[in-house]
Amino acid sequence: MEIWDILDSEGNKTGRTMVKGEEKLPEGFYHLGADVWIKNSENKILIQKRSPQKKLSPNVWAMTGGSVIKGETSIETIEREAFEEMGVQLNVKDAKMLAHFKTGNVWIDTYFLKQDIDLNKVIMKEDEVSEVKWATYEEIEEIYQNGQFIKNRWEFVKDIIKEFYM
């Protein structure tokens, strides 16, 4: 059971919480999510295909991330999600904040991290991830243009990634 802090339209905690899946987020309120874009020494970005079992956006490519649970920071979230979904330990001390934006009913903290990860050692959680791969910036853009990348993520950070990190 995940408990989320409810945020106002400016991204501030309201003091209220909700249980994921058991309650509906009140109109005009938000919860916090966190994403991380991981680049390796070959200048490729780690992407993962969401499991067909996912309720939200199944079978599409995405970055690593998820919802921030009560009492957790967004950095702790990306660390937890990478380990839960792929069995990967991130060097989060090296993570850099890319953006903080609002999309739908979620405020997103987006991070960038340079780290080499051996895909042969990835242990995918079946109900979360069905495939992982390293992709170039251009490959991700093509996946996005073909409608096969999770909505409301790549379009918010692609220019930042291209300008500063590629």
Q: Which of 71, 65, 70 is nearest to 84 (CA)?
A: 65
Amino acid 21: pLDDT: 82
- Spell out the CATH class of 31-165: alpha beta
Amino acid 135: pLDDT: 97
Amino acid 56: pLDDT: 84
| Model pTM score | 0.93
**Secondary-structure breakdown of the chain: helix, strand, coil percentages, each rounded to the nearest 5:** 25, 35, 40
Amino acid 7: pLDDT: 96
Amino acid 26: pLDDT: 86
Enter the DSSP assignment of 121: G
Q: Which residues of the chain have pLDDT under 70?
A: 166
Domain assignments of the chain as residue spans, ordered by start: 31-165
Amino acid 8: pLDDT: 95
